[in-house]
Amino acid sequence: MKAYILDRYAKKGALRFGERPVPALRDNDVLIEVHAAGLNLLDAKIRDGEFKPILPYRPPFVLGHDVAGKVVRVGPKARRFKVGDAVYARPRDGRIGTFAEFIAVDEADLALKPANLTMEEAASLPLVALTAWQVLVERAELDPGQKVLIHAGSGGVGTFAIQLAKHLGATVATTASAANADLVRSLGADVVIDYKTQDFDRALSGYDVVLNSLDEDTLVRSLDVLKPGGKLISISGPPDPAFAKAQGLNPVLQLVMRLLSRKIRHKAAAKKVDYGFVFMRGDGDQLQRITALVEAGTIRPVMDRTFPFADLNAALAYIETGRAKGKVVVTVKDDTP
Ligand SMILES: NC(=O)c1ccc[n+]([C@@H]2O[C@H](COP(=O)([O-])OP(=O)(O)OC[C@H]3O[C@@H](n4cnc5c(N)ncnc54)[C@H](OP(=O)(O)O)[C@@H]3O)[C@@H](O)[C@H]2O)c1
């Protein structure tokens, strides 16, 4: 099969378009014919070698964390899906590789694709949707009437998180540039802070939850938005000791993460705020619940651009500009009649 292969870790290095064997199935796997693959900054960060300590993939390997496609084969113990099903997934860590014509995915990571979406739209969702779910539902336990600040509301995670937070009954503030204010309002944001001209930490106070996906300066300033007992949840770091332990990292890495997060943990504790780092995981059951929300029209995907499979490296360079509005996807197998 054709695939984009990472031959060696290299900053901004191009992935090689080459041949790989079609993946073999494990007992609980299904083989998916990839129709569309979503791109994430995680792909670029892994390619650059930034994630080697946490996700030690050994080259050569195929990158790609989001897939939508059709089931073409079913492993001997896989029960939930049948050949022909349209599905989508964020395959679990260690088993990524959606930038290819086929991928074998454990059925526990898989869900039926929302029937009202194209393959491209479906492929845009799993990683960001599960991230938003695991931050707002699992970690924050966001309740109706609570106030949440979602940074970078026009990005991949932000566009989904705003809609999910509204569905959960929260009041939502978000940071975005003026050019994207209408977009984030259309997703349900109640308060929009133009990050280029306004200081969010002066404009907002008494919040229950902040979802941070930006830099350390934003992370620290976000403490001023929260009330005592509030939760500061970061997906862009720094990783904390609880994450290091849950990942089963070695004692040296656990210590490194303790040190990396020391400043923010101490500042948060001084304000009686709970700091936590979330690193999302694949989860087919949660994704199935997301399918229901999308099919009900509660949440819609926000797509910036679709690239042909041949232009995958250009698509990666595009998301690395940090300017994407919503999601970027490559079409691997064109479904248009
Ligand atoms: N830990 C996890 O599990 C996890 C999961 C998903 C993502 N992440 C991380 O979270 C970060 C965000 O990911 P993403 O995919 O959502 O990013 P993205 O889609 O690339 O975000 C781009 C958007 O961010 C906006 N933006 C940039 N700087 C901003 C600022 N200072 N204030 C407000 N908005 C700003 C841009 O708007 P303008 O063009 O108007 O500036 C653009 O629309 C990345 O670092 C990613 O690796 C982590």
CA 46 to chain centre: 14
Atom of ligand 1 nearest to the CA of 175: 33
Ligand 1 centre from 326 Cα, in Å?
A: 9
The residues facing 74 across adjacent strands are: 30
Integer distance in angstroms from the first to the last C-alpha of the chain? Answer: 23
Q: What residue has token string 């022909």?
A: 84
Is residue 17 within 8 A of residue 1, CB to CB? The reply is no
Q: Give the per-residue pLDDT at 45.
A: 98
Q: Give the per-residue pLDDT at 74.
A: 98
- pLDDT, tens only, 140-167: 999 999 999 999 999 999 999 999 999 9
* Ligand 1: lining residues by beta carbon, under 6 Å: 40-42, 127, 131, 151-152, 154-158, 175-177, 179-180, 195, 213-214, 235-236, 278-280, 319, 322-325
CA proximity to 110, closest of 161, 70, 62, 156: 70
Closest C-alpha residue for ligand 1 atom 32: 152
Q: What's the pTM?
A: 0.99
CA proximity to 32, closest of 91, 73, 79: 73
For residue 224, pLDDT over 90 is answered with yes
Give me the mean pLDDT over the 298-304 stretch: 98
CA proximity to 69, closest of 84, 52, 56: 84
